[in-house]
């Protein structure tokens, strides 16, 4: 009987995912030769059948779009963190067969900022209002003592962000995307927008910027992150987030209490560099 324990990342599209690189690096560093980590292109329609097909050798799953919300009704339990943003990116299969969902993006954001010495901020700005923005708000609920200003493109998005703020206990004020340059003077700026969306803002980076958390990692650096670094500001990247949330996933799926952050980051950096060659 095989003793191999399996895990994988699911999503659609999924070929670009760095999760296999990070998790396999962790397994190698921890000496877990009996662990495998794969990726599967699974959309919302295929998710129930995929979960039903899994055997007892499965330890856990990482989930990306569009599955983070679709998986919730298929689980036996979700953590308070996942429930707070209605998004699950981690599923762990218990020995008794229960499927338990969690969200490691939120504590991953907090850990990535803490690694750069950001323990607490008096205020912050968020660029964008998608799913990642709600996770950013949840992270800010843990470290921001004052107002968060969200710069958005529509009143519908603005209303959503205000609702998330009320739900998460964060004081949220919304502003029009046309005024997004004002965000750059905040003590902490979290950019949650797609590639290219903040490029035009790079010319407005102040001479002494504080901290930018740009959730993108490929291509890297973004125009905004490059200008921010050039002016001496602290920059936290999407790879930092990806690695920190993956550390927490590895720990939950393997039972190890200290996943190898440095080895996982190095593997991610090498994989990204190879894509750009």
| Active-site amino acid positions | 68
Q: At which residue do the structure tokens 């969902």 appear?
A: 101
Contacts of 268 (CB under 8 A, 6+ apart): 18, 21, 22, 25, 239, 242, 243
What is each CA distance from 201 to 75, 148, 218, in whole angstroms? 41, 19, 18
∠ CA 12-15-20 to the nearest 5 degrees? 110
CB 104 within 8 A of CB 249: yes
Q: At which residue do the structure tokens 């700026």 appear?
A: 189
């Amino acid at each position: 009987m095989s003793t191999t324990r399996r895990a994988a990342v699911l999503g659609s599209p999924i070929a670009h995912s760095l999760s296999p690189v990070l998790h396999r690096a962790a397994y190698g560093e921890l000496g877990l030769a009996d662990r495998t980590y794969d990726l599967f292109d699974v959309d919302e329609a295929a998710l129930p059948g995929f979960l039903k097909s899994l055997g007892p050798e499965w330890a856990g799953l990482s989930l990306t779009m569009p599955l983070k919300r679709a998986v919730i009704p298929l689980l036996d339990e979700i953590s308070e963190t996942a429930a707070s943003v209605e998004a699950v990116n981690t599923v762990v299969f218990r020995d008794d067969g229960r499927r338990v969902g969690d969200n490691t993006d939120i504590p991953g954001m907090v850990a990535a900022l803490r690694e750069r010495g950001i323990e607490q901020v008096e205020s912050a700005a968020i660029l964008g209002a998608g799913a990642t923005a709600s996770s950013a708000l949840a992270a800010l609920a843990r470290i921001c003592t004052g107002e968060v200003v969200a710069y958005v493109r529509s009143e519908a998005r603005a209303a959503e962000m205000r609702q998330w703020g009320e739900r998460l206990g964060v004081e949220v004020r919304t502003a029009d995307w046309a005024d997004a340059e004002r965000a750059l003077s905040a003590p902490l700026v979290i950019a949650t927008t797609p590639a290219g969306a903040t490029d035009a803002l790079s010319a407005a980076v102040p001479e002494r910027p504080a901290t930018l958390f740009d959730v993108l990692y490929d291509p890297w650096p973004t125009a905004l992150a490059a200008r921010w670094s050039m002016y001496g500001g602290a920059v936290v990247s999407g790879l930092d987030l990806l690695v920190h949330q993956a550390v927490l996933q590895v720990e939950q799926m393997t039972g190890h209490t200290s996943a190898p952050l440095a080895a996982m980051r190095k593997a991610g950096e090498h994989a990204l560099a190879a894509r750009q060659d």
